[in-house]
Amino acid sequence: MLVGLDLTFGYIPFIIASVILLGLDRDYAKHLGLLHISVLALSIAPIGTDTNPPFALQMGAGLLFAVAIPYLVTRYVYKSNIIRFPVIEKGLFTYRRAFYILLTALIAYLLLPPMLRSDNSYMNWPAVSGTWDLWEAYIGLNFVGIWDELFFILTCLAILKKFFPFYQANLFQAVIFTSFLFSVGFEGWSFLVIFVFALLQGYIFKKTKSLWFILGIHLTLDLVLHLALLYLHFPEMFPYFIT
């Protein structure tokens, strides 16, 4: 309610839940409390697709805070490595992973244009055409995509699966994931697609433990999304979609 729907009265159940959390198991409360702080930061920060520097800096600060606080507190206060951002990985490239990347591109190519056109949600992204504006929009899209995986999969899911079975933890992170992207600009029935995508990303990370692989999937989807937005705004200039 705080992030996805941007409802002010959402602070009421948020405060109630936070008070209840204080009376629960100490280890549970101190870890879930970090997610409460992150969600609060996201509810305060402006969330959207505006690439103007003042807006982008404010949104970026909120996103950075939401990731940094759980990581720093668990690592240096709780003395736990529950949240890890693996950089060096062995066996990163396989033909099977390359196939999944290509499959992601194909599904996104077929699905994104009709999904965004069905309720005109593509209009939530500004129509940019200048070279610098195009790069600025693409870089911003990738920044949010990378943050999505760092926060929802490597932070939220990592904390939640400490206290819940994986399938429950994955469902919970997918709900938060979907709420955030809904607030970014995806509307209509796109929340169903995002929810499935979030579940799959959590499951893929569980199986592979590869940050780079889930980033590869996400950034491939974001590339197609960027092109789809250009196509929907300027169909004559970018006639490379068939849907």
Judge whether residue 114 has pLDDT over 70: yes
- Torsion from C-alpha of 68, 70, 72, 76, nearest 10 degrees: 180
pLDDT band of residue 52 (cuts 50, 70, 90) is confident
Higher per-residue pLDDT: 46 or 92: 46
Point out the least confidently predicted range of 20-29, 89-98, 148-157: 20-29
Query: In whole angstroms, what is the distance from residue 242 CA to residue 110 CA?
Result: 8
Judge whether residue 1 has pLDDT over 50: no
Question: What percentage of residues in the chain have a pLDDT greater than 90?
Answer: 53
Mean pLDDT, residues 184-212: 92
Mean pLDDT, residues 97-125: 93
Query: In whole angstroms, what is the distance from residue 43 CA to residue 93 CA?
Result: 37
pLDDT band of residue 98 (cuts 50, 70, 90) is very high
Strongest mean pLDDT among 17-21, 26-30, 33-37: 33-37
Check residue 24 and report its DSSP letter. S
Query: In whole angstroms, what is the distance from residue 210 CA to residue 14 CA?
Result: 33
Q: Is 164 left (phi over 0), alpha (psi -120 to 50) or beta?
A: beta
Query: In whole angstroms, what is the distance from residue 153 CA to residue 157 CA?
Result: 5
CA-nearest of 121, 241, 143 to 191 is 121
pLDDT at 8 (0 to 100): 55
Judge whether residue 3 has pLDDT over 60: no
Judge whether residue 134 has pLDDT over 90: no
Mean pLDDT, residues 157-177: 95
pLDDT at 87 (0 to 100): 76
CA-nearest of 3, 6, 7, 8 to 38 is 3
Mean pLDDT, residues 211-240: 92
Number of H helices, E strands in the chain: 9, 0
Judge whether residue 92 has pLDDT over 50: yes
Query: Tokens for 196?
Result: 């499935």
Question: What percentage of residues in the chain have a pLDDT greater than 70?
Answer: 92
pLDDT at 126 (0 to 100): 86
Higher per-residue pLDDT: 41 or 7: 41
Query: In whole angstroms, what is the distance from residue 212 CA to residue 105 CA?
Result: 16
Rg of the chain over Cα atoms, rounded to whole angstroms, equals 18
Query: Tokens for 67?
Result: 């990731």
Question: What's the pTM?
Answer: 0.89
